[in-house]
Structure 1
Amino acid sequence: HTHTHNSRLQTKRGIRRRRTPAPMERHHRLHLFHGGRGEEMGISTLLAVTLFLTSCLLSAAFNPGTQLLLNCGSGVSATAPDDPRPFLPDSTSTSVSLSSSSSVEVAEENPPPGTSPLYRTARVFTAPSKYELTVPTAGVHVVRLHFFPFSSGGHDLFSAVFRVSALDTFRLLDNFSLPRESSVALPAIKEYLLWVDSGKLGITFTPLEAGPSPRPVAFVSAVEVFTAPSELVRSTPYFPGVSSHVGLETIHRINMGGPLVVPSNDTLWRRWVPDEAYLLKKEAAKEVSTTRPVKYRNDGEGSTREVAPDSVYSTAQAMNVGNIQDPRFNITWRLNVSAGDTHLVRMHFYDFVSNSSRDLYFNTYVDDQTFYKDLQPAFFAFNDFAVPFYWEVLINDPGRIPRGESSRPMVVSVGRSDKSNPTTVNAILNGLEIMKVLNSSLDELGSAGGKKKKKRLVLVLVSILVPSVVACLALLAVLVTSRCLSGRRRRGRPERTETGAPSWSPLPGTGGNSVTTASKLSHGTAAGASLRTPRVINLGLHISLEEIMLATNGFDERLIVGSGGFGKVYRG
């Protein structure tokens, strides 16, 4: 049956002439996948078995250039739960060294039944100490720190309070602790994406004096470091900051409408949790899924399963239209994030619920701000088969959190669009990731922690053409002059209504506390912008140097697409 189905697809693609996108459209395409179309159905045993077998076969496909797996404080190898990879002893690894002798190996004397061997030992630090890990390949690396406290050998790890930093640049954890009353059977695993130059990756553990502990200590149970695939994060750092390095901490990774995804079923050994605990008004959503295989693009323009596994794209939450009387309802999730920080929100989509490629339109929102209006998944499939894709947005905390609060709720929603066909109204979300931008990576821009910047910045990370500062000033000067001359000629005449729109409107002309930057797509509508564009470009428009620096990676010479009389033109 599989062979017959694939043959039909190949035949259909053979006779269908695909539209070749214009060069500008190809330039603006973002994070695309290619997959087959399936039917809407409930999660079944067949689906679970299919996804499990597929994920098991695919989880071994990724082979990172650098991979260091350390079993800290132990002299033997061990594996983590639901993860077949062996973690080697940190004391015998030739790729690891400790810059301080103020550490001891501690083992739990009477571990509870079922405790993984990886979490029966720990490396305990009694003074600031640094792990030096050899990283021969420059680029973005995934760094995971495992913590599992216990009491043994005179060390009570439940009372430990400490700080962790990396590369002498990023503060990963501060005043971190795992008290006994909050600890559960699962370890605490902190994940980061860090740009690492070839050479050494330094991770420093600093004990802090706090609580009833007789002496301050820090500890770690396991460390894993491996090179991130290029499609997960661009191979060049795109957050300006200290040494132009990127720094992200994963806060949430959620599988909408699907089951728990364990590390052995993910190509990057990630854990995706179900969305039930975060879903508000559960009667507004219904779980949908497909058993059709997800096919990814193989033309070099798309991404792979390293961005998200099949089990995430094959399930979703959709609108339960027949269960809610209010036709304008949304599906909404509420998650806690750290207050005063900038967060990267990544939303995953895959339309397998529509019967036609042009049926589905919907809106997406983050913190009550429109993230993408009239999103049409078929656009990303070029009106052929549906393909998985994702969008990203940067949310800068507006600073409305009461002093002393360490967290705040972030609300993510999807809902119907005004362009929706009344008979096919729907909205979907397959997966959601929220990552915190590490403070040090934005310090040089003066926006660390959101304290100096009061306006919320919502920057949709799409490929856009950002002119140089000189070009912006020249363009504004021409527009002002033209406006003045036009006003003199038309003085006294009633204003005429025009339906035309500027060819590119980088920012909405309305007021408010949000700023959206998006590319103009082939349908003639800027992503995230209203269809009703201003009649003329708002001459009060201001784009800060900070935003231009962010979009162009500090005027990276590799992003130059041309130059002329007005100067250089950068891709952003």
Structure 2
Amino acid sequence: MSTANFGVSAGNFVLLSNFSTMSTVMKEFSLNVTSSTLRIMNSPSTNSIAFLNALEVVSSPDTLIQDGASILPSGKYQGILTLLRRSKLYTGATNFSNIGVVNYVSGGPTQDTAPSTVYGTCTEMNSASNPNSNFNVTWDFDVDVGFRHLVRFHFCDIVSKTLNQLYFNVYIDSSAVVTGLDLSTVSFNVLAAPYYVDLVTSTSKSSKMQVSIGPYTANAAYPNAILNGLEIMKLNNSVGSLSGNMGVSSSGSSGGNNTGMIVGVVVGVLGTIVLAWLLFLFCRRR
């Protein structure tokens, strides 16, 4: 099993190709299933095997991932059907927490979007001692070259005492993707109301993505910026693949049939052993 090399597909989408692992790995995918049956197929490479330790299929609300989002640098992206959830919700390096004030408002994000443990914690600028602070808080993430990514920013103003006090900018790499974000306005004029922004990046030419938040000083009384959570989700390419440039092919189907044949042989052998054991017990009793 340590030398196994195989692919995994679901319907017409390639989830993994030429996959191998020497350690415990969990992969999470979001699929738009339009039929009553979901077929997941493991296809071993030549002279290899394919294996799976466990599988979870969980239904999620249709509103969790919308079909469209703003694409960088401009325009709209449609067709967010299949994606790989690469990163976890960001709750590390938190320097402010107020989970009890999170106020889920009707029409906004729900607990399914992200729990209050995400929206009730945040990383903010360390600018309390300097009202002239002007710097960005930055994170670096590994991404796959040649793919677009859906980046979801989670925000919730748990730091302000009154409305319209927090304005800040959001950046991906060197581009300002949101300027002068006022969470009071976009969150139904309620403090501590969850809000998220979806952005689709251009096709990655680098294996690194940089995400930053920084102050917007035009309206703000004091420089500050926050980030409660972040998700980076790789989108399938034009051939329906999340791994490489090869789509689901007939060769993949034959791999699935081989797997079925192996399972059938194993079941047959087990059945023969059970029958032989029962015959032995019967003869011994006589």
In which range does the TM-score fall when normalised by the shorter chain?
0.7 to 0.9
Q: Within 2, Cα distance between the matches of 1:190 and 1:207?
A: 18
Contact (CA 8 Å) 1:362, 1:420: kept in 2 or not? no
SS in structure 2 of the partner of residue 351 of structure 1: coil
Return the match for 1:227 from 59, 81, 92: 59
1:297, distance to aligned residue in structure 2 (A): 2.1
- Offset from partner CA, 1:442-486 (integer Å, 9 cap, x none): 69xxxx989xxxxxxxxxxxxxxxxxxxxxxxxxxxxxxxxxxxx
Contact (CA 8 Å) 1:332, 1:411: kept in 2 or not? yes
Structure 2 counterpart of 1:222, which letter?
A: A
1:355, distance to aligned residue in structure 2 (A): 1.6
Unaligned 5+ segments in structure 2 are 70-78, 246-286
Aligned to 2:275: none
Contact (CA 8 Å) 2:90, 2:231: kept in 1 or not? no
1:411, distance to aligned residue in structure 2 (A): 0.3
* RMSD after superposition: 2.5
Q: Within 1, Cα distance between the matches of 2:157 and 2:176?
A: 20
Aligned to 2:217: 418
Q: Within 2, Cα distance between the matches of 1:324 and 1:341?
A: 40
1:323, distance to aligned residue in structure 2 (A): 6.8
- Offset from partner CA, 1:343-392 (integer Å, 9 cap, x none): 00000000010122111000000111111000000012343333111001
Aligned to 2:266: none
Q: Within 1, Cα distance between the matches of 2:134 and 2:193?
A: 27
Return the match for 1:358 from 164, 180, 195: 164
Asked if 1:177 corresponds to 2:20, the answer is yes
Q: Within 1, Cα distance between the matches of 2:19 and 2:244?
A: 18
Alignment of structure 1 residues 268-279 onto 2, 5 Å: 274=92, 276=93
Asked if 1:436 corresponds to 2:225, the answer is no
SS in structure 1 of the partner of residue 134 of structure 2: coil
Structure 2 counterpart of 1:433, which letter?
A: E
Asked if 1:389 corresponds to 2:195, the answer is yes
Q: Within 2, Cα distance between the matches of 1:251 and 1:366?
A: 17
Q: Within 2, Cα distance between the matches of 1:164 and 1:442?
A: 13
Contact (CA 8 Å) 2:119, 2:194: kept in 1 or not? yes
Asked if 1:369 corresponds to 2:175, the answer is yes
1:249, distance to aligned residue in structure 2 (A): 0.6
1:326, distance to aligned residue in structure 2 (A): 7.8
Aligned to 1:251: 86
SS in structure 1 of the partner of residue 37 of structure 2: strand
Asked if 1:296 corresponds to 2:104, the answer is yes
SS in structure 2 of the partner of residue 226 of structure 1: coil
SS in structure 2 of the partner of residue 321 of structure 1: coil
Asked if 1:195 corresponds to 2:32, the answer is yes
Q: Within 2, Cα distance between the matches of 1:221 and 1:323?
A: 52
Aligned to 1:409: 208
Contact (CA 8 Å) 1:351, 1:387: kept in 2 or not? yes
1:227, distance to aligned residue in structure 2 (A): 1.7
Q: Within 2, Cα distance between the matches of 1:410 and 1:223?
A: 30
- Offset from partner CA, 1:139-180 (integer Å, 9 cap, x none): xxxxxxxxxxxxxxxxxx22111111110x21101111112x
Alignment of structure 1 residues 324-339 onto 2, 5 Å: 327-339=133-145
Q: Within 2, Cα distance between the matches of 1:441 and 1:296?
A: 39
Asked if 1:312 corresponds to 2:118, the answer is yes
Q: Within 2, Cα distance between the matches of 1:449 and 1:189?
A: 19
Q: Within 2, Cα distance between the matches of 1:381 and 1:449?
A: 39
- Offset from partner CA, 1:59-97 (integer Å, 9 cap, x none): xxxxxxxxxxxxxxxxxxxxxxxxxxxxxxxxxxxxxxx
SS in structure 1 of the partner of residue 55 of structure 2: strand
Structure 1 counterpart of 2:15, which letter?
A: L
Contact (CA 8 Å) 1:192, 1:247: kept in 2 or not? yes
Contact (CA 8 Å) 1:165, 1:205: kept in 2 or not? yes
When residues 247 and 426 of structure 1 are mapped into structure 2, their CA distance, relative to the original with a 3 A threshold, is same
When residues 379 and 216 of structure 1 are mapped into structure 2, their CA distance, relative to the original with a 3 A threshold, is same
**Identity between Structure 1 and Structure 2 (%):** 36
Unaligned 5+ segments in structure 1 are 1-156, 210-214, 257-273, 277-285, 402-407, 451-572
SS in structure 1 of the partner of residue 58 of structure 2: strand
1:199, distance to aligned residue in structure 2 (A): 2.2
- Could you tell me the TM-score, scaled by structure 2's length? 0.75
Number of equivalences: 235
Asked if 1:162 corresponds to 2:11, the answer is no
Contact (CA 8 Å) 1:194, 1:245: kept in 2 or not? no
1:197, distance to aligned residue in structure 2 (A): 1.5
When residues 395 and 318 of structure 1 are mapped into structure 2, their CA distance, relative to the original with a 3 A threshold, is same
- Could you tell me the TM-score, scaled by structure 1's length? 0.39
**Which structure is richer in relative contact order (CA contacts within 8 A, separation 6 or more)?**
2
Q: Within 1, Cα distance between the matches of 2:180 and 2:126?
A: 19
Alignment of structure 1 residues 510-521 onto 2, 5 Å: none
SS in structure 2 of the partner of residue 158 of structure 1: coil
SS in structure 2 of the partner of residue 188 of structure 1: coil
When residues 223 and 324 of structure 1 are mapped into structure 2, their CA distance, relative to the original with a 3 A threshold, is farther
Alignment of structure 1 residues 125-164 onto 2, 5 Å: 157-164=1-8
